[in-house]
Amino acid sequence: MTMPAWDCGHDRAILHVDMDAFYASVETLDEPALRGRPVIVGGTPEGRGVVAAASYEARRFGVRSAMSAARARQLCPEGVFLRPRIDRYCEVSRALMALLRGTTPLVEPLSIDEAFLDVSGCRRLLGSPPEIAADIKRRVRAELGLTASVGVAANKFLAKLASDLEKPDGLVVIEPGSGRERIADLPIERLWGVGRVASEQFRSAGLTRIGDLLQGDPAGLEQKFGPHVRHLIELAAGRDDRPMVPAHEAKSVGNEVTFAEDIGDAAQLRAICDELADKVARRLRADDLRTRTVVLKARYPDFTTLTRSLTLPAATDGGVEIRDAARELLERKLGRGRRPLRLLGVTAANLVHGHEPGQGSLFGEPGRERNQQVDRVLDQVADRFGPLLRRGTRPRSDPEKG
């Protein structure tokens, strides 16, 4: 048996993880009656909107992203047309990114439903890159109920190209050194940076496949198509040394609510404050972040807005700690006998990644571990059924947001 090429340990190992028909798949996940039906997420066929995503069943009718919804209706009269629920997609996206960061912190999100992972350093621990890719696919299915396609290669360009080759539910591996032959016959539009204009130029010059760029004399091609073609020749040869750019960390995680009517009742405001704090803590845990500073924002009926902050003794993602800090800000810093409020917000700032040293269970307070268990249970319930179950009462929602 030959050793997998990656075991020699010299090449980078990059994964590109891309969810399949993401918006449409989330809709089907949340409404199982849609399974097997052509689901089209985007504008209404009556309006002037476009298709944001189409299930594979809809794609069989020729429906594609960015097509007008009216055209999609012509192609697929049986289609189930749904308006996008971006908040829900963002929620699933956060769960996806947290899952990926469970494999490696070297995650570079490209969009709401795709990311690069550099697993070069994970091989000894987690297995070969194809094994790691298979494991991620399995976990995405088990934990999110969705399918992803994954490309595995020695660089970003090849990994992204590979993830797209056998969609949906694909796993395509391009072994180091084999990229050039593997992509030679693909249409030239598959190269990053070849849009419609460049594509027409290449095709009118008889260059239709990626490999065609490697046949001619590079200097001649450059003269004909401009200096940009150098970069494309590199890609065509399967070379791409762009580094990973791990996620820019969120600077803060916040939540606020505008009331339908101004609220002056202290108990009611406290309950709303608790709920906002719980929601923030949950998002921190989902994103594997902890906060050092809790910020309370309050807006009065005359639109004066105050923010007050409290720095914690240690970074935390605990619901109880964040709630206590928010309550303290509400009760003490806003003063007693205060005026009614029209808006209240809780934000966690000064964030650190959960795995950074210095925020372990440093404190011996009794109850801390129990609180963490309660947090975990609430997270699991919310993950399965949506964030229905929270401590405290529900605030009245922002009338603009319905």
Question: Which residue among 27, 108, 113, 375 contacts Mg ion (CB under 5 A)?
Answer: 113
Strand 341-353 to 305-316 pairing: unpaired
Complex with Mg ion: residue 19 or 99, whichever CB lies closer: 19
Give the pair of three-digit tokens for residue 305. 């807005």
Applying the rule CB under 5 A, the residues between 2 and 41 that interact with Mg ion are: 18-19, 22
Q: How far apart are alpha carbons 11 and 239 in whole angstroms?
A: 12
Complex with Mg ion: residue 163 or 255, whichever CB lies closer: 163
**Interface mask (CB under 5 A) for Mg ion, residues 73-112, using x and -?**
----------------------------------------
Q: Which stretch binds Mg ion (CB under 5 A): 32-40, 113-121, 265-273, 306-314?
A: 113-121
Cβ atoms of 275 and 394 closer than 8 Å: yes
One-letter amino acid identity for 230? R
Cβ atoms of 257 and 398 closer than 8 Å: yes
Work out how close the CB of 153 gets to Mg ion at its nearest, in angstroms, rounded to a whole number.
Answer: 18
Complex with Mg ion: residue 23 or 202, whichever CB lies closer: 23
Q: How far apart are alpha carbons 179 and 83 in whole angstroms?
A: 40
The DSSP element (H or E) to which 69 belongs, if any, is helix 69-75
One-letter amino acid identity for 334? L
Q: Tell me if the bond preceding 313 is cis, omega within 30° of 0.
A: no
52 binds Mg ion (CB under 5 A): no
Complex with Mg ion: residue 144 or 348, whichever CB lies closer: 144
Number of residues that bind Mg ion (CB under 5 A): 4
Work out how close the CB of 20 gets to Mg ion at its nearest, in angstroms, rounded to a whole number.
Answer: 6
Annotated catalytic residue, options 114, 166, 256, 328: 114
Complex with Mg ion: residue 46 or 166, whichever CB lies closer: 166
Work out how close the CB of 18 gets to Mg ion at its nearest, in angstroms, rounded to a whole number.
Answer: 4
Work out how close the CB of 22 gets to Mg ion at its nearest, in angstroms, rounded to a whole number.
Answer: 5
SS3 374: helix
Complex with Mg ion: residue 114 or 212, whichever CB lies closer: 114
Give the pair of three-digit tokens for residue 279. 């929601």
Q: How far apart are alpha carbons 230 and 238 in whole angstroms?
A: 13
Work out how close the CB of 171 gets to Mg ion at its nearest, in angstroms, rounded to a whole number.
Answer: 15
Residues in the chain: 402
143 is catalytic: no
Q: How far apart are alpha carbons 163 and 358 in whole angstroms?
A: 38
- For residue 384, the number of C-alpha atoms closer than 13 Å in the C-beta half-sphere is 7
Work out how close the CB of 200 gets to Mg ion at its nearest, in angstroms, rounded to a whole number.
Answer: 27
The b-or-e profile of 32-44 (16+ CB within 10 A means b, else e) is eebeebbbbbbbe
| Residues engaged in binding Mg ion (CB under 5 A) | 18-19, 22, 113
Residues with a catalytic annotation lie at 114
